Each structure stands twice: as C-alpha cells, then as structure tokens.
Structure 1
Amino acid sequence: MTEHPEVTPTPRPGSRLAEQTHAAADDQVDVMAISPVREEGMLEESTADSPFGPDIVAKAKDLIGRYPQSRSALLPMLHLVQSVQGFVSQEGITFCAEQLDLSEAEVSAVVTFYTMYKRKPCGEHLVSVCTNTLCAALGGDAIYRRLAEHLGEDGRPLGHEEVAGTPGERGSVMLEHAECLAACDLAPVLQVNYEYFDKQTEESAVELVDALRRGEKPQPSRGAPLADFKSVELQLAGFFPEEEDAYRADVDGPSRAVETVRGAQLAADRGWTAPSMPDDAPLPEVEAK
C-alpha cells in the first residue's frame, strides 16, 4: 500500500488566522490575494491610529460575550462601528473581522445586504422618507422630492443617501428613500434617526429638516426623544446609560398612536371577542426529525 504524506488543511482566511494561513498554504498559493491582510502591519488587531480604541474594543468583547457563538455579535458590532465613525468604513469591516475571526468578505456581505449600515459618512441626522406604496400614494413621493430640492445646491436636488452639509457635523442631514416603515395607518411618515414623525406634509417635512439644520431636536410623534445618528447607533449596538434616570430619559416615550390601536379599542368598547379555540381542536401532525 502506498503511503501518502499527511496534508495540513489550509485554514479559512480571516484576520486572526492570517498567520496560520501563511504557514499552512503551499508556496504556490497567493495568500495575499485571498486574505484580508493586504498591508504590512495589518496582522495586528489594532494600530495606534485606529479609531477603535480600547473602550470600543472592550465594548466589542462585551458584545461577543452575549452570544454562544461569536459571529452572532456581528450585527450589533456593526452598529458599534457606526457609533464611532458614522458609517461602516473599510477599517470598520477589518475591525469586526478581527474581533469575530471572520473574513472581511463575510463581514462585507452583511454590510452590503442591510440598508441600515451606511457605506459612506452619514450626517448628524438621517432622514428616511417612506416611499412605499401607501405612503407614496398619500404624498411620500412628493415629500421626498420636496426635501431633495430643498436640501440640494446649485439647482441640483440632493440624491439618495447624500448629505446636506459636512457629514457628521452639527446640522448635517443625510436623506434617503425608505421601504415600508410599518406605519401605514399614519401615512405619510418619515423617520429621523429611526424615530417616527407621522402624518407629514411637504411643508411640515421642510420645517422639520430646517429645525435639524439649526441644531434643534424636534420631538418625534412617538417613541424616544430625538438623538443624533451616532448616539442612536450606540443604542442599537445594545449600550445604554447605567443610571436609571439617564436610561429612561434616553428611551422613554409614547410607543403607540391612537390610530394604531383604534380597532382594539372599538372591540373592547363593544365587547367584541374572537372565538376561543376548542380544547379538542385537531392539530396538524409534525414529523419527527
């Protein structure tokens, strides 16, 4: 019987596994072409000039500890990255890959799939105008066009995910089309940093963005008090003030509108109830796997 030499498998390339990849790969394999490590020094988990300092690394470790598998922390970690930079940069992708032992390709696939992760710097505020069917029919398209013209310069309307002002600075606004915002009963609606402003008109929307550009923070129709984009991203990452009063100030607010619960209120007032399910109702059989 012919004996075959033992072959060491090439590990999947990832930021922390790059050294192993170099050691295990055949001399003919262009490791640099398949690895996210493209420059000398990128094998280090962080560099002195990285925007993700020790406090952010500590938060990333905290996120990882909340899940049985580290890769499950990717979504909140991307929000953490946006809380630092206001978007997901290539540095942010590398940071997440290093922390989670993923390849940059895996992280990039997630970033480019979800629209909440921005690939270019956002404004202090993100204004999302619902232009899905019902909102569009009730004025959402007109509101978006009016805001694009109002925020544009030199006769050019502001484009989708473009910023009026300098990104990140006080009063800057990114405008975007949004798919259904799940508030059809209050259409047309828009959001500022994911907080609702219901029953908008072209005029009220212009007044709203003008207030944002002046540095004001108008009260949303419902939900938490308005914060800036980066602060909201930190909340979406799962980090809130430890003090109870500060926490409540950040998140408390009316969570529902009268219109949303009108049907339930009518049913309660008139004594309407749904028929209960009989105890002997046959249930579909489920095959054991």
Structure 2
Amino acid sequence: MLAGTSALPERSVSVTQRERGRGRRRSQSESSTPQEIRSTTRVYNIKTSEDRDDPKIIADGQGGSGLYTEIGKKARDLLYKDYQTDQKFTLTTTSPTGVAITSAGTKKGELFFADVNTQLKNKNVTTDIKWTDSNLFTTITVDEPAPVLKAIFSFRVPDQMSGKIELQYLHEYAGISSSIGLTANPVVNFSGVLGTNVLALGTDISFDTKTRNFTKCNTGLSFSNVDLIASLALVDPCFHMGPIASQPMRTPSGTQHAIDPLTMVKARVNNVGMASAVIQHEWRPKSLFTISGEVDTKSIDKSPKVGLALALKP
C-alpha cells in the first residue's frame, strides 16, 4: 500500500487463515481439513459456512462486485478486529417492534468510556442514533427509495458542518457510492467498483469544492474465489508519484483457526516483534467472551498487556 504524507506507509501484508466456522456445525471431513493461504498481499481463506452465507463476499456465482469499502475488509478484520488491551462490556437488547439498544462501556487504564446506540427499523427505513461522551451521531438509511438504490443521511451533534447525504447503487457488475456534505462549500466523494464477485477494480476520490483540490485518490483491486480473497490498495497515488519518505514499515502476519464450532483463536506478529493473540468463545448465540493479549518479544522484561471483552445479546 502506497501512502502519502497523511496516510500509512507502504505495507506488504502476509496473512494465513484457517477455517473459522464459528457458530456453525460442519461435517467431520470439512473441519478436519484446514486450508492455508499465504501471500504478500492481503489474503485469507473464506471457505466456511459463515462466509458462504454472506452475499457480499461469496464467490459461487451469486452477488456482485460490492462497494469500494469492502475491498480488503475481511483481511483487515483478521489482522485487527478483536485485538485490544482494555476491558469492554457490551449489552444488546431488542424488542418485537424493531428497536435495538446497544450499551457499551470500555475501561482504558484509569479512564472509563461509555456509549449507547439505538436502532429503529420501520419498513425500509433504519435509524441509528449513537451517543458518546460528547457527541450524538445519527444515521438514517432508506433501502430502495428507487430500485437498486440506497440513500443514507448522517449528521453529528453539535457539529453543524457534519451533515452528509450518500447514494449507493449496487449492480451485478458495478458498485457505486457518491456523497456530498451539506455545507456551502462541500466535500464531494465518489467511489466505484467494476467487475464481478471474482475480480473487481475500484477507485475512491474526494474533491474539496472550497479549495478546488482533490483530497483523496485511492485505487483498489480484489480477487475472489471459493478458496481465498486477495486485495491490493494504493492510497493517494495521484499526489505522490516520486519517492516517499515514511516511517519504518510494519508488516503484520496473522493466522486464524477454529478449535470447535463455537471457539476461535487467532494470532498475529509483525516485523518489529509485537505479538498478539485472541481467543473468542460464543457461549450462547451471538454472545461472545473474548480474551486478548499483546507482548513485545524484543523486550520480554515488559509486562504483557491483556484485554477482556464480554458481549451479551439475549
């Protein structure tokens, strides 16, 4: 990944993932035959029942190219999701009327952070309201105001300049998203993906109408089949065509394995000696208990960091 002055430095990621299958019952022959994929790009195995049920990522002839934000998402989840060194508790409650309330609390050292998220569904309209210590985020999503379209309106209180409206279009061979800020001199964003659920090429561009400059110019490529997904992203190649001075490159590698249908372990290590591990157990449907840890292998005299997370969904 190539980066500009405000983005991450160039990365080459090697990922190994074995069958997850968390929360699903599989045959003995399938669970006893783990598969391994290695590459210098973001690569991971998606040959699990859970992944096959997701129309956005399966490669069995259904689904389309998806949106630009989906390029590399599964690899990022493998390398970064659930890795934490804090204590977190999450409780989700739902009602028959379509209201879901999620409360979360996180303890970081001596500090405690809390947020509450409320989701209301009424026919094809979904409203998400999230309250944090100092902000109120609201997102209103309308599914199919016209065929194959999705409209999203979002804003943040008390920021009066945060209003934004977005339109998404999903087709078998294309995924397009365009947004504009609701200000006098808005930032306009456009992203598009062309291809199929096997091979897709996309771009993500932002233009500031006030300065009349492009503020973002990204390009992504993804390849998918029943065994793996690989993606490559170039960040801001439009602005930096020459040599780039950057921080020392960090290259993480990760692996994931299902101990049983309800328990998953994964680990990662980078080239500077930081090693992390996660074990997650689904002790009841959609309720997870997670233990994670991180250690500096080049400074073993330092105490390892440990994180705990409990997510309850009755």
* Shorter-chain TM-score above 0.5: no
More strand by share: 2
| Structure whose alpha-carbon radius of gyration is higher | 1
More helix by share: 1
Q: TM-score range by the shorter chain?
A: under 0.3
TM-score by length of 1: 0.23
Higher relative contact order (CA 8 A, sep 6+): 2
TM-score by length of 2: 0.22
